[in-house]
Structure 1
Amino acid sequence: MALSRRRLLAGSGLLLGGAAAVGVPRLARAQGAPVRVGFMLPYTGTFAQIGIAIENGFRMALAEQGGKLAGREVQWFKVDDESEPSKGVENAQKLAQRDKVDVIVGTVHSGVQMGIQKVARETGVLSLIPNAGVHAATRALCAPNVFRTSFSNSQPTLALGKPMMDKGLKKAVWLSWKYAAGEEAFEGFKDSYTKAGGTIVKDLWLPFPNVEFQALLTEIASLKPDAVACMFAGAAAGKFMKDYAAAGLQGKIPLWGSGFLTEGVLDAAGAAADGVMTTMHYSDSLDTPRNKHFRTEYAKAFKAQPDVYSVQGYDAGLLLLAGAKAVGGDLSAKPALYKAMESAVIDSPRGRWTMSRAHNPVQDFYLRRVEKGENKVIGVAAKALSDSGAGCKLA
């Protein structure tokens, strides 16, 4: 894996460019102190397992390089963000100002991410987003020092429209929570589905985090659409699929959604998830040598199976490694560091991806169908899909 990445980075000019640009005195200074990496992730509460998976993936990427970053030792700092937006700025400041980290890796919750975003923009600390999909981070509030390695909230649903129309599903009902992530996911679905020729019969909403679906399921049954498209995540997604089946809609009105609908909840949903179609930038069952090797090594290292969150953390590590190698480990050489990260090609378990001008992944999205408790990849829903980056002055 290390060899393949070296060849990949050399091919993109990153290694060559870094070697030519970095003088010996600067390199010596850079290697004189450890790189200070700060994790601001949820370690308690609903999203705790996601935070752990992200940290595991990030550490694994560096472990493959001997635990170092372009030859420099790494010193780790951790803050539990508690998925609490009101503490976002305070917690990010602890890392940026108290611990003086070189890079903040975080977070999961989009509301907390906005706190990190504020601190990153004010202090200039390098910020790597391994999950939170809030649009503003790579749109109106984008910054040269902020890079996302996951997705924007509208990307998974931007991939939904065409495959639904390809199946002849011309009339759809949308359903989600009425909060920022749900609304941004609807933006992606509305754009892709209507452009493909589909008609949204009605968009239905629940207050977050309400999980009382019955009234809306009754309305869906009366509307008789060709399909339902939705965005739910976590335990609520499992309950939604069970309620959908219990309402007699499974097998009658096809259920489609953002890939998070079926991530981590298939055991809980059981047979109610059978046949559900989703679009996502990763799947456990992705049948490539790169993914198989990653999954094997991750399981050995952490005695657990990796998921999409592990991959996003891993890719954040790969991105930082690419930038650090280009500047010989001198993360203070910020213009060169950012340029290298912008031009990196990440050889990920999800498939190779690049960075958009607004610092959001340009990546393939897979079409998946739940079969026997597994998200089975049945095709590519969208190739090299990019977020619009609307309002980003970097673009």
Structure 2
Amino acid sequence: MTTGTGILPAQSIEDMIAFGQLTGQPAITSEQVQPASLDLRLGTTAYRVRASFLAGEGRSVADRLTEFEMHRIDLSGGAVLEKGCVYVVPLMEALALPADLTAVANAKSSTGRLDLLTRTITDGGVEFDRIPAGYSGPLYAEICPRSFSVLVRPGMRLNQIRFRRGQSVLDDATLADLHATDTLVAGGPAVISDGLGFSVDLRPEGTDLVGFRAKPHTGVIDLDLIGHYDPADYWEPIHSSDGHIILDPGAFYILVSREAVHIPPDYAAEMAPYLAMVGEFRVHYAGFFDPGFGHAAAGGAGARGVLEVRCHEAPFVLEHGQGVGRLVYERMAERPATLYGADIASNYQGQGLKLSKHFRS
């Protein structure tokens, strides 16, 4: 395993599996290993709970489930997780992290594009999706379908986990130098401030279609069905002729960044957490960008960032070119053996405005 500082690549994740630092029941498969992360699999039982929770210091998730469980659901034959409800599902994977590795989890891209809030919790955990060095124990997914009820089965992969040694986030000066040599963003200026800023595209070339809004009353989505559903049954197209739209409180939108983003092979990126100063909305549930995303040698020439947007308490005017978030770049501990979009099933390389893979183009 590499001993370098940074995000661990696929080959180091495979070493972790071989050393017993990452285990699975059943065993972890090669298809789960991504360039800079590992896909996590749902187990066989979902616990419907009264409310979202964290275990807290000195307490286990199993203990807290005895407090908050309403009923449990056998997923073996497939089961529906209903919109607006909260579920906890034990994952098939467990960790035995060494003292020099931390981990961070996030929803996969397709999960976020369905407004399927999925977060990882652990025994003793005091934060969602953040796992301290040396953690040894089980992993759980908290799942809250926000827009659509979904049909799930054991083994489905809704979230993913990255492993990090040390601190490898690029400061603004280093990020500016990297942009000068590798062109991290095209289609707009490089706004570098605590990461690489990006904005929303509400004046797309050749069309007035700027995004989609989830319909409030729809059928169930079977997460195993790819390219199956008619978008018109689940989404309302959003058009704009003047470069702005008004976000409705409680509504969920799919929009796209004005800029095309590039993640060079020796780096990974993560969407920074939502900041209240941006506006009355949250952008992007699925925040991992893999090495090679938008990279020309991996089949891309820069790729737009698809924005998963949920408006909060008040209607909000969103205008073309308005800043909506930033990407934080980190060094890889070693270049991954395989890049995003090259010889792996990467659904969103070279993307523009695009719904999740479950919908027909």
TM class by shorter chain equals: under 0.3
Give TM-score, length-normalised by structure 2. Answer: 0.24
Give TM-score, length-normalised by structure 1. Answer: 0.23
Larger Rg: 1
Q: Which has the higher helix share?
A: 1
